[in-house]
Structure 1
């Protein structure tokens, strides 16, 4: 059934994207002025995504990618199907601005394996990055998980079946730099049997957006990401990497299991006290990480 959904999605997306692509020049021609929040609320990043799997076979690839870095408080048209700035502040317990790093929809299609919310705190005259929220969407199951993490470095029990060539065991180690002229995001997977067998990274540079038409800048970007995902899945299958069925078929409690494993980790920096006060440390260790699972919208983003 999932294969049927996938094929239907590919066909419908192709028809919609071709039609909207043909109309794109006319939309630009009759647009009298750029979107009001285009320059004030959105920064543009261009860079490279790199993946490397070291076991049980070696497989690596990289591709060019373009991201939008959106000030959710200033955006007059915030991206749909994402957290609002106030929701993000409530989750992260911060009081400052919230930015969303994401690949915007293009000609009727959205594909975002990973989006990040950067939640800042205002302390006097200083604004500093305090927490991040990851938003991971799997393909082709159309599921999404959101979780809180410490941007400087954190370890999270794997909460989502993101690839048919990876089981649910292991932890994600994730960290991100403070976005500026450049941006770096690193994720690695530590497995109880395979060790540190997988690494993914995003390295990007900020580009001038004063004269950039966003619809052109992101044209077919989500489609390219989807093509890379499916193409390299075929390559892994060709290399005879074991295909793993979604855990919901044989372990419906996999979400609870992930939450329990995350609690056992006991080293999640996002819950550590920022001082050496023993009482605060004990209180923070009793707090569970915030997870939220949900279905992604159609077409899956």
Structure 2
């Protein structure tokens, strides 16, 4: 059974350490700190007006019809995959739009049936070229699942290999792992570790002070590390002619 999220806003904040480790064809690693939101798609936080510039949740920042809600767009995607949650709860882990900007390399949705039992997990991936793709996962009780890579993310990897993901639904702690395997060997691993805090005005302000311009920092980190890899001579794999995107039909 799922439980209510803490705090008067019915949401949680996770101050996180995000680490990337590339093991092939050369070794390269880095880490940075930020904060993420865990929200109920049917009960998005209603912040006081002075704090709204620090956190907005917009359908336009995720795949689907921007005129619909985040929940409606996710349900439309799931329906296209033959999944009906029948109104069951969906939790979303993501950065919120802050100070007019957001970029989520990975958004995770934990989807439940009306009795609170897990049905599926959706991993939504964005790249820095404006593309996005969703992976529908059926994890076991340990939150682990695998799926073929289908989407161009990094210019230093082609679209091949398989993802091994460990995405257990977070509680007091957040522990996520996404590993790319190519030819049966690990090539890249990303981890997200965090501690939960109730989403309150005080906690949000503290997180925003500790991690100023956090939503701007993410794409800057990605580009900076890309420049470092280029300078180390790592070859670039051109983007496919057609970037994988998901479209939800507009009636």
Q: TM-score, normalised by structure 2?
A: 0.76
The secondary structure found in structure 1 opposite 2:155 is: coil
Q: State the 1:130 CA deviation.
A: 2.6
- For 1:184 and 1:86, locate their aligned partners in 2 and report how far apart those are by CA, in whole Å: 28
Whether the 8 Å contact between 1:45 and 1:67 is mirrored in structure 2 is yes
The secondary structure found in structure 1 opposite 2:246 is: strand
Q: State the 1:208 CA deviation.
A: 3.3
**5+ long unaligned stretches in structure 1:** 1-37, 256-291, 296-301
Which residue, out of 211, 234, 242, partners 2:235? 242
Q: State the 1:76 CA deviation.
A: 6.4
Q: Structure 1 stretch 74-83 or stretch 151-160: which is displaced more? A: 74-83
Matched residue, 2:185: 195
Taking only aligned residues, the RMSD between alpha carbons, in angstroms, comes to 2.4
Matched residue, 2:152: 161
Whether the 8 Å contact between 1:143 and 1:294 is mirrored in structure 2 is no
Assess, with a 3 A threshold, how the Cα gap between structure 1 residues 102 and 86 changes in structure 2: closer, same or farther: same
The secondary structure found in structure 1 opposite 2:26 is: coil
The secondary structure found in structure 2 opposite 1:200 is: strand
Assess, with a 3 A threshold, how the Cα gap between structure 1 residues 202 and 147 changes in structure 2: closer, same or farther: same
Q: State the 1:109 CA deviation.
A: 1.2
Richer in helix (by share):
1
Whether the 8 Å contact between 2:111 and 2:119 is mirrored in structure 1 is yes
- For 1:201 and 1:85, locate their aligned partners in 2 and report how far apart those are by CA, in whole Å: 26
Which residue, out of 59, 66, 72, partners 1:80? 59
Question: Which whole-Å deviations, capped at 9, do the CAs of 1:23-73 have from their partners, x for residues lacking one?
Answer: xxxxxxxxxxxxxxx833321111111111111110011111200111111
Matched residue, 1:12: none
The secondary structure found in structure 1 opposite 2:146 is: strand
Larger radius of gyration: 1
Matched residue, 2:105: 113
Q: Is 2:51 the partner of 1:60? A: no
- For 1:131 and 1:205, locate their aligned partners in 2 and report how far apart those are by CA, in whole Å: 24
Q: State the 1:225 CA deviation.
A: 1.1
- For 1:129 and 1:76, locate their aligned partners in 2 and report how far apart those are by CA, in whole Å: 23
The secondary structure found in structure 2 opposite 1:225 is: helix
The secondary structure found in structure 2 opposite 1:122 is: coil
Which residue, out of 39, 45, 59, partners 1:70? 39
- For 1:143 and 1:61, locate their aligned partners in 2 and report how far apart those are by CA, in whole Å: 24
- For 1:118 and 1:207, locate their aligned partners in 2 and report how far apart those are by CA, in whole Å: 19
- For these two proteins, the number of residue pairs brought into alignment is 213
Q: Structure 1 stretch 97-106 or stretch 145-154: which is displaced more? A: 145-154
Q: TM-score, normalised by structure 1?
A: 0.64
Q: State the 1:195 CA deviation.
A: 2.1
Q: State the 1:186 CA deviation.
A: 0.9
